[in-house]
Amino acid sequence: MKILDWYILKKYFVTFLFFLLALTAIAVIIDLSERTDDFAKIKLPVSTIITQYYFGFIPRIDALLFPLFIFLSVIFFTSAMAGRSEIIAILGNGISFPRFLKPYFIGGIILSVFLWWCNQSILPRANAKWASFSAQYIDQTYGGYRNQSFINNYYFRLDSFSYAGIRYYDTVSRTGNSFFVQTFRNNQLVYNLRSETITWDTLTNKWRLNGVLERYINGIHEELKQHPAMQMEYNFKPRDLQRDEYMKDKLSTKDLNDYIRLEKLRGSETVNTLMLEKSTRDAGPPSVLILTLIGAIVASKKIRGGSGFHLAIGIVISVLYILVGRFSSVFAMKGNFNPVLAAWVPNIFFGLLAYYLYRKAPK
């Protein structure tokens, strides 16, 4: 690490911190202007709104826009250096262009690792705080349609051969009725269970079934068993029966992986959405390095428009980055596009752009 590296890294981190604080403040002001009526209706203290909502909202929005904050900050301070002819002096003293990009590469890796760590540990907890507040207070102002406290006629797969269904389930009391399980072998029904009620037992962490009738079927032979009550351990829990659109955001990466495996086993329609969430957490950090290099290459050339022109280019590239990400996400969730590839499409596209700009940049 030379003096030049420390000089650029200092500008890199200080400018990024400035953009992070400034743009976060703008995002909070915009959100507050949209939520003012909702906050007035719930009549909670300001301290509660700050600690329960914005302490979750701020990490969420920062993680979402983290690569763009870095991109704009790199363009800003690099363009300023180019405007003062500092980059011309650096390259004129025998420093190669790849060597000039070294501190950008180091800074991009450091912040990429930081974002990856935040995505795996901090972000799920922040999302849980934000989502709990939104579900309890904000969504209720619109009829509470996002997270209902009950479900009707819910069917799902337990494993490769077994299917289950429940006619009515209350997510608050964790109690339902008309529960059934069916198991098939070679396309033939071999087991059928029906229960009048099903309740989650918090002491044993098992399901308690009441009024149970079991049927064991072997060809033309059938065996019936009746039970007043049974304790059963199934591979689903109360949270799996709750329609919570924030579920994927609140789960840690480990829990999200387990949930994805379970949903795949059940043949759930939400697998693509869950896979997209997981892949997005992994694809976000590399975008920090890619956008850092693009920003440094674009802004290192001294032009007549100066910083203003460089920032305009940066805004255009940022918009394109968001649009590419959104289009690929929509195709993954609504179509048959691979969710893993959808999360990485922006990185692939802009990685190729970074390579092209680097090859064309004056050395």
Half-sphere exposure in the Cβ direction for 153 (13 Å, CA): 0
Q: What is the mean pLDDT of the segment spanning 58-81?
A: 89
* Residue pLDDT, tens place only, 116-147: 998 888 888 888 888 888 877 776 544 444 44
* Residue pLDDT, tens place only, 47-69: 888 888 899 899 989 988 898 89
**Nearest 5°: CA angle at 103, between 100 and 104?**
90
Q: In the 8-state DSSP scheme, what is residue 158?
A: S
In the chain, count H helices and then E strands.
Answer: 12, 6
For residues 157 and 266, the answer to whether their CB atoms sit within 8 Å is yes
pLDDT at 10 over 90: yes
pLDDT of residue 143: 41
Q: What is the mean pLDDT of the segment spanning 162-179?
A: 87
Q: What is the mean pLDDT of the segment spanning 84-98?
A: 85
200 CB neighbour count, 10 Å cutoff: 17
Which structure tokens are listed for 75? 């363009």
Lookup result for tokens 């990856």: 116
Which structure tokens are listed for 160? 């490769």
pLDDT of residue 146: 46
> What distance lies between CA 360 and its chain's CA centroid?
35
Is the model's pTM score more than 0.75? no
For residues 154 and 169, the answer to whether their CB atoms sit within 8 Å is yes
- Tell me whether strands 206-218 and 175-185 are parallel, antiparallel or unpaired: unpaired
Nearest to 211 by CA among 202, 224, 198, 192: 198
SS3 per-residue string spanning 261-328: HHHHHHCCCCHHHHHHHHHHHHHHHHHHHHHHHHHHHHHCCCCCCHHHHHHHHHHHHHHHHHHHHHHH
* Residue pLDDT, tens place only, 266-310: 667 778 888 888 888 888 899 999 999 998 888 888 776 566 777
Q: What is the mean pLDDT of the segment spanning 298-323?
A: 77
Q: Where are the domains of the chain?
A: 3-141+270-360, 150-243
The pLDDT mean for the chain works out to 84
Nearest to 72 by CA among 316, 271, 295, 264: 295
For residues 122 and 56, the answer to whether their CB atoms sit within 8 Å is no
Alpha-helix residue ranges (DSSP H) falling in 84-220:
86-92, 97-100, 102-117, 123-133
Distance, CA of 261 to CA of 282 (rounded, Å): 18
